[in-house]
Amino acid sequence: MSRKKAKKGSPRLTYVTDFYALEYSVNKETGELDYQPSAKIGSKPFPRFPVLIKGNGEPWTLGNLHLTHKLMARGRYKDQYVPKTWANWATNLLTFLRWLEETDTDPLKFHPVHEDQRPTYRFRSYLEELMEKKRRSGNLRGVGLSASTAGEIHGTVQAFYRTLTQKGVITPTLLGLAWKDVDKLVKLINYDLTNTAKLMRVKSSDQAVKRTKKKQDPTKVEGKLRPLTQKEQDVIDKFIAQSGITVRLIFTVARCTGARLQTICTLRGSTIKNAVYNAEEDHYLIHVGGTSLSLVDTKGKKEETLILSPELHNLLMRYWSGNIATSRRIQSAYGNTLDNYLFLHKNSAPYYSSRQEINDARDPNYHRGVTPVAATKDEKRKIDGRKGQGIKTYIKDTLLPRIRNSDPKLKHFDFSFHDLRATFGMNTLFKLMDDEGINSTDALLKVCDLMNHSGVHVTTAYLDFKRYKGDGYTAHTQLKIETRLLQKVPDDVMNYNYE
């Protein structure tokens, strides 16, 4: 059963553009219900909130109770509400709801003796069937479920039943029939970059989905992410030179900082202007994310620091003050202000809508540059939907065809924007280990810091753990890295007349 294509009359998901959490009270005089904004959450709307709809067209009370409970628990602080996270939970519950209706199963009815007659165990068997279907198909897309996806669905269903217990819908005794809690010992190897190992006790259940650990493809990191070879980088450099200056600079920032598309496309004028210069190491520091005060988005709202060479910082300042960027700002929502995006599309729309803009669009008291009123419903949907598609589409429909049609040897040439991040990491590693003579552990820690990874375990895919001999990290190493990376920027970007 597909998780995306619902049959006519089957359960589905819908999204509320602006969701308000309300509390009700009974009017003693009239007996009517009065609704007021939730005291825990407040009166501000939550964008694109998912709502589960049953096959008969009615909202699914139990599933939606779980989503709103999560909102009360985690979303009370507005910067903790992430529409994508709630959408993922809702999509997982949708799979469960469709199974409930197709099998005519009551999610609250648990047989006191036979496990195979309880909804949680039966649904776990159903997930196993879908995983087996995926394996037999040779992992064809759209067929069955991968172990990873099945595990996520199963985890959401368990969280759903815990919510029902907390809300008093089912008793703790009944929850005890849903699954059995078990303790497992997990061995962690190379957790401290050495060959040592340790055991960690983790909580699990007798229904846990076993996820087979895939062998790491040495050409890929962070999932489908892969570092580009030197020849591939040269090809991109050659053909990106035929693009507009805005796209070229976006690529330049990615190549020189390793920043994600989300972060690059939500950089603001104030971000560049307020960059902190480090005279000792001769580079600029840009602090982004971390708090609701930051106008620049990062993955998981994590605080990050980007390092810019003086040359790159100068390029961005010249671009900000130039005619192209200025004319686009004047026609955009935030107007010609420092709060506006550094990079705007030629139609003056941002490439990627920041969380701050999504909130501003829902604030009737916020004057958005040239727009003195809050955005309309259609405008909100457009703002909510901007996730860097302009750059991704440009690569797919313009840059890649241009490259593939230039030479028969390049007809299968392929890359994604996120590959530039892996390329930054690999270029930096080569510089640290091969040119600077730094050992792999120190190099790994430095790259982890530069790429703002949560831990070295994320960065280990960049190294083959060969040991190098040489001196430790010096104060001038980063400057040398920046200089080397900046040499890869096409000359036309460096010498462009931004006025």
Nearest-10 crossing angle of helices 477-486, 245-257: 150
Rounded Cα gap, residues 12 and 91, in angstroms: 9
Q: For residue 22, give the amino acid letter.
A: L
CB atoms under 10 Å from CB of 6, counted, come to 16
Residue 79 in tokens: 């910067």
pLDDT band at 463 (very low <50, low <70, confident <90, very high): very low
Please list the residue range(s) of the chain that carry CATH number 1.10.443.10: 221-499
Residue 299 scores a pLDDT above 90: no
Do 474 and 233 touch, CB atoms closer than 8 A? no
For residue 316, the tally of other CB atoms under 10 A from its CB is 25
38, two tokens: 């939730």
Q: What is the pLDDT of residue 221?
A: 46
Has residue 5 got a pLDDT over 80? no
Choose among 104, 107, 211: nearest CA to 163: 107
CATH of 221-499, one of 1.10.443.10, 3.30.70.20, 1.10.10.10, 3.90.550.10: 1.10.443.10
Which runs of consecutive H residues, i.e. helices, occur in 179-217?
none
Q: What per-residue confidence (pLDDT) applies to 296?
A: 94
**Separation of CA 174 from chain center:** 36
The pair phi, psi for residue 18, each rounded to 5°, is -130, 110
- The per-residue pLDDT for 432 is 67
- Cross-strand pairs, 203: 183
Provide the pLDDT confidence category of residue 473 given band limits of 50, 70 and 90: very low
| CA 445/CA 438 separation, integer angstroms | 11
Q: What's the full length of the chain, in residues?
A: 499
The 8-class DSSP code of residue 221 comes to B
Instruction: Please provide the average confidence, as pLDDT, over all residues in the chain.
Output: 80
C-alpha neighbours within 13 Å on the C-beta side of residue 73: 11
Percent helix, strand and coil across the chain, each rounded to 5? 45, 15, 40
Closest alpha carbon to 263 in 452, 485, 489, 446: 452
pLDDT at 407: 94
Confidence grade of residue 454 (pLDDT, cut at 50, 70, 90) = low
* Residue scoring higher pLDDT (141 or 363): 141
DSSP secondary structure string, 256-307?
HH---HHHHTT-BHHHHHTPEEETTTTEEEEEE-SSTT-SS--GGG--EEEE
Q: Which of 123, 457, 422, 438 is nearest to 260 (CA)?
A: 422
Distance CA 291, CA 298 (A): 10
pLDDT, tens digit (0-9, with 9 covering 90-100), for 148-202? 899 999 999 999 999 999 999 999 999 999 988 877 666 555 444 444 556 666 6
Residue 90 confidence (pLDDT) above 80: yes
The beta-carbon contacts of 168-176 under 8 Å, at least 24 apart in sequence, are 169/62, 169/65, 169/108, 170/108, 174/108, 174/110
Cβ-count burial of 84 within 10 angstroms (0-12 exposed, 13-18 middle, 19+ buried)? Answer: exposed
The 3-class secondary structure across 44-94, one letter per residue, is CCEEEEEEEECCCCCECHHHHHHHHHHHHHHCCCHHHCCHHHHHHHHHHHH
Whole-number Å distance between alpha carbons of 125 and 150: 11
Predicted confidence at residue 466, as pLDDT, reads 32
450 sits in the region (left: phi over 0; alpha: psi -120 to 50; else beta) called: alpha
**Can you tell me the mean pLDDT for 195-210?**
68
With tokens 């996820």, the residue in question is 211
